[in-house]
């Protein structure tokens, strides 16, 4: 699948925003006091990400219509949940300086909404049947772990406390583990549709493409036909783990001695997540390409 930069930036940025909000909520429930900056940054990441997501629309001025189909569409649900999170986030951070009990209540709602929104984002992909790599059971855990790992890394960059950094270390390790499970899962030999079942001609013999319908690439090939060499994918997986988990992990350990290193750790984690999200698209194979001569997806 074509990795659209606006969508990659959107899912990583808003994921980190929701993760940060969730971590702030958990922190409050455990008795810490989230800084105002963490609230501002969470809203900025969520808002910036959502804004970026409209850049890949053919008709961005109609984006508001996407709130209407929550009964059937995960994309619509994601929009509704994300929009609902914003006032709750404002209420949460306003209540911190106003009424503690209300803030605790807001924190619970904010945490639930943050988790629900990230799950909705992941479900957009996890329900796309023609893409085996997205139907994988590790997709939802991967998005959740990514959101909370990056959110925790940003939290650790803002907060000098020890608990935050330990939480970030744990979350980053969990994310790396989930991604390893995901990659192992999609690397297994598949039993999905092939060119024989796509054309229904498989029972007559081997099916080989002879002539494509047109001389130039069409929308389907540009959108669904993006392929990445196995060798490059393996290298990028290592890079994602290195930048997303190993480097930030080490920097967080250093930050116990030199605090500002936590900021570099957060940036590294976000870049690692961008690489991973790019791969999430680049490694995904759509069944439509079977008609254009790909043997297996």
Partner 1 sequence: MTSLPPPSKVQLGLVIDLDRCVGCHACATACKEWNDGGASGPLSDTDPYGAKPSGVWFNRVHSYEVGDGADGCTVHFPKSCLHCAEPACVTVCPTGASYKRAEDGIVLVDEDLCIGCKLCSWACPYGAREFDAVEGVMRKCTLCVDRIYNDSMVPADRVPACVQVCPTSARLFGDLGDPDSHVSRTVKEREGFDLMPELGYRPVNKYLPPKRQMKLASLATETAAIDQAGFFLRWVDRLLTR
25 binds partner 1 (CB under 8 A): no
71, 97, 101, 258: residue in contact with partner 1 (rule CB under 8 A): 71
197 binds partner 1 (CB under 8 A): yes
CB of 163 within 8 A of CB of 32? yes
9, 18, 74, 138: residue in contact with partner 1 (rule CB under 8 A): 74
Strand pairing partners for 194?
Answer: 296
Phi, psi of 138 (to 5 degrees): -90, 0
**What single DSSP character describes residue 93?**
H
Binding residues among 82-141 for partner 1 as defined by CB under 8 A: 124, 127-131
Nearer to partner 1, 79 or 248 (CB): 79
Rounded-to-integer distance, Cα 171 and Cα 169, Å: 6
* Least CB distance to partner 1 at residue 90 (A): 25
Phi, psi of 211 (to 5 degrees): -130, 135
* Least CB distance to partner 1 at residue 249 (A): 34
66 binds partner 1 (CB under 8 A): yes
62, 184, 230, 232: residue in contact with partner 1 (rule CB under 8 A): 62
Nearer to partner 1, 3 or 192 (CB): 192
Stretch that binds partner 1, among 20-28, 141-149, 192-200, 267-275 (CB under 8 A): 192-200
Alpha carbons within 13 A on the beta-carbon side of 207: 18
Rounded-to-integer distance, Cα 110 and Cα 128, Å: 28
Nearer to partner 1, 255 or 287 (CB): 287
189 binds partner 1 (CB under 8 A): no
32, 75, 86, 228: residue in contact with partner 1 (rule CB under 8 A): 75
Binding residues among 201-230 for partner 1 as defined by CB under 8 A: 201, 204-220, 223-224
* Least CB distance to partner 1 at residue 191 (A): 9
Rounded-to-integer distance, Cα 208 and Cα 72, Å: 38
SS3 186: helix
Nearer to partner 1, 47 or 196 (CB): 196
* Number of Cβ atoms within 10 Å of the Cβ of 238: 12
SS3 296: strand
29, 36, 40, 57: residue in contact with partner 1 (rule CB under 8 A): 57
Strand pairing partners for 296?
Answer: 194
Phi, psi of 226 (to 5 degrees): -60, 130
SS3 131: strand
Greatest pairwise CA separation for the chain in angstroms: 74
CB of 85 within 8 A of CB of 110? yes
Rounded-to-integer distance, Cα 249 and Cα 252, Å: 5
Nearer to partner 1, 74 or 175 (CB): 74
30, 97, 189, 200: residue in contact with partner 1 (rule CB under 8 A): 200
Contact residues: partner 1, CB under 8 A: 1, 56-60, 62-63, 65-69, 71-76, 79, 124, 127-131, 192-193, 195, 197-201, 204-220, 223-224, 286-288, 291-292
């Amino acid at each position: 699948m074509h990795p659209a930069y606006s969508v990659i930036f959107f899912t990583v940025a808003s994921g980190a925003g929701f993760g940060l909000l969730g971590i702030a909520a958990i922190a409050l429930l455990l008795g810490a006091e989230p800084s105002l900056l963490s609230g501002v940054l969470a809203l900025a990441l969520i808002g910036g990400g959502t804004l970026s997501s409209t850049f890949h629309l053919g008709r961005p001025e109609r984006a508001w219509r996407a709130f209407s189909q929550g009964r059937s569409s995960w994309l619509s649900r994601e929009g509704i949940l994300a929009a609902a999170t914003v006032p709750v986030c404002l209420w949460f951070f306003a209540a911190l300086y106003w009424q503690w009990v209300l803030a605790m209540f807001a924190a619970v709602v904010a945490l639930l909404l943050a988790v629900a929104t990230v799950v909705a984002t992941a479900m957009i992909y996890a329900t796309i049947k023609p893409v085996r790599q997205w139907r994988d059971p590790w997709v939802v855990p991967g998005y959740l772990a990514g959101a909370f790992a990056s959110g925790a890394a940003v939290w650790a960059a803002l907060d000098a406390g020890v608990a935050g950094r330990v939480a970030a270390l744990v979350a980053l390790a969990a994310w790396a583990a989930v991604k390893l499970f995901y990659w192992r899962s999609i690397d297994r030999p598949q039993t999905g549709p092939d060119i024989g079942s796509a054309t229904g001609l498989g029972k007559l013999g081997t099916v080989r493409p002879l002539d494509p319908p047109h001389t130039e690439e069409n929308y389907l090939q540009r959108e669904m036909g993006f392929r990445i060499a196995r060798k490059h994918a393996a290298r990028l997986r290592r890079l994602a783990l290195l930048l997303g988990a190993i480097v930030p992990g080490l920097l967080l350990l250093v930050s116990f001695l030199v605090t500002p290193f936590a900021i570099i750790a957060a940036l590294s984690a976000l870049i690692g997540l961008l690489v991973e999200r790019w791969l999430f698209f680049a490694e995904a194979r759509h069944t439509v390409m079977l008609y254009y001569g790909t043997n297996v997806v």
